[in-house]
Amino acid sequence: MLRLFWTILIVWALLRGGLLFLAWQGNPDPAARSRVLVHFTEEDIARGREYSRNGFAVRVVSQYWQVGLLLLGIFSGFFAGLHQRCEALAGGGFWLGNVLFLLAFYTLYSLVSLPVTWYLGYVCEHRMGFSTMTAGQWFWRWAKGFAVGTTVQVAGVMLALWVIRTFPRAWPVGLPAATTLFGAVLTVLFPIVITPLFYEQKPLAGGALRERILGIAERAGVPVEDIFEIDESRYSKHTNAYFTGLFSRKRIVLYDTLIKSHTVDEAALIFAHEVGHWQHDHMTKGIALGFLGGLAGAFALWWIFPWLAAEPAFRLQPLWSAANVPFLLVLTIAGNLLLAPVEAQISQYFERQADRASLDLTGLASTFIDAEVRLARDNRGDLLPHPWRVFWLYSHPPAIDRIAMAEALAPAPAPGATAAP
C-alpha cells in the first residue's frame, strides 16, 4: 500500500508539472493564433500571456511545498502527536479534541500558505494593475476569509466524522447525503450571511440596465429575488457576475466594475448568461452530481481505508478521528487533479448551454462577441491556452471558442446585404 501511495503522488507531481509546462507554453498552433487575431491584437495576446506567467515560479513551487510539508508532518508523527495533545487538553471525548485539532491544523496550514497567498494575491495583482487594496486592507480581508473558511471547514469535517462514527455501517450513503445537505445550506446562506462580511451589497439602482435585466428575467420565466451590485472595486479591477442561492432565494450579483466598464447591452447579456444557468437548473444538477461523486468517493474510502490503516507509516486512527485529515487531504489534492477533466467537461458543457440561452433570450450575437472581447481584455485572459490544459482544468470554454459559438448562431445577413465599412 505504501508503494501504491507513492506511485499516486509521483503521477500527481508529474501531471501537475506537465500542466504547468503547458500553461507556460500556451497554444503554439499558428491557426489558433490567426483565429484569435480576428478579434484581438498581438498586444492583447501578450498582455494575457504576461498575466498568466505572473508569479509563475511561485505557483510552480507552492503546492509541491504544501504537500511536502503535509507529508513531513504525517511521516514524522507531528500531526499524530498534535492530535494526542489536543485530546489530552480536551480530557477525552469525541467533539472537543477533534475540534481543537482541526482548528490547530487549519491554522498551521493557512499560516504556512500565507507567504504564497500574499505574493500571488497582493504583490502580483498590484504588479499587473488589478489590486486596489493597501497591504492592511489585504491582510484584513485575508483574516476574515481565514475565520469564515476555517469555521466552515471545521463544521463540515465534524459533520462528516459524526456521520461516520454514528452510522458505522451506513455512512458511505449517509456521508454524501449529509455533506450535500450541508452544501445546500451554505448556498442559501452565502449571499445572506457571508457576502455582506466582504462586500457592500445593494440592489441595483433603477435605470436602463435594471429594466433590461428584469425584462430578460420575465421572458425567461425565472423568478428573481433581486439584482444586487457589490463593490468589487474596493478590492480589484476584475469584472464578473454570478448567480447564487436556491429555490426562492435565487439572486444575481453583478460586480460594480462590470457595470462601469460595459455597455447596458453587454451587461444585460452577461446577466442573460446567468439566467441561462437558472433555465437549465445547473445549480440543482451540480448538487446532484456532487452527491453522486461524493457517493463514489465514500464507497472508495470505505473499501480502501482498512488497507491504508494497516500501514504503520501512515499513523492512521479510526476513520472518525480528525487525526486522519492531513493524510486524507493529501489524497484529495492528488485525486482532484487526476479526476479534474470530469468536472471541467461538465462545467464547460453547462457554460455552453448558458451561452446559447443568453443568445436565445437577447438575440445580441454581436454584443455577445463585444462582451467576450471586453471581458478578456479587462481581465487579461490567456487568449491562447493549450488545448490539453483547457480539456483538463478549464471550467469555462476559452474566449475565442465562445466567440466562435456566437458567430455560428448569429443570423445570416440578408440577401444582397453588404458588410459595413
- What is the predicted pLDDT for the residue at 419? 39
Which residues of the chain are modeled with pLDDT < 50?
413-421
User: Is the CB of residue 407 less than 8 Å from the CB of residue 373?
Assistant: no
- What is the predicted pLDDT for the residue at 50? 96
Which residues neighbour 152 within 8 Å (Cβ) at sequence distance 6 or greater?
186
61, 199, 215, 363, 368 from 270: Cα distances, Å: 36, 21, 14, 13, 8
Q: Which of 173, 183, 177 is nearest to 153 (CA)?
A: 183
Which residues neighbour 267 within 8 Å (Cβ) at sequence distance 6 or greater?
209, 241, 254, 258, 259
Strand partners, 170: none
Q: Which of 23, 8, 88, 31 is nearest to 54 (CA)?
A: 23
The model's pLDDT over 47-96, given as tens digits with 9 standing for 90+, comes to 999 999 999 999 999 999 999 999 999 999 999 999 999 999 998 889 99
- What is the predicted pLDDT for the residue at 244? 77
Instruction: Tell whether the torsion through CA atoms of 123, 49, 348 and 230 is positive or negative.
Output: positive
- What is the predicted pLDDT for the residue at 420? 36
- What is the predicted pLDDT for the residue at 207? 85
- What is the predicted pLDDT for the residue at 149? 96
Question: d(Cα 47, Cα 128) in Å, to the nearest integer?
Answer: 9
The model's pLDDT over 214-250, given as tens digits with 9 standing for 90+, comes to 888 888 888 777 788 999 999 998 888 887 766 666 7
- What is the predicted pLDDT for the residue at 418? 41
Question: d(Cα 129, Cα 379) in Å, to the nearest integer?
Answer: 10
Phi, psi of 131 (to 5 degrees): -70, 135
Question: d(Cα 276, Cα 291) in Å, to the nearest integer?
Answer: 23
What is the reported pTM?
0.90
- What is the predicted pLDDT for the residue at 248? 61
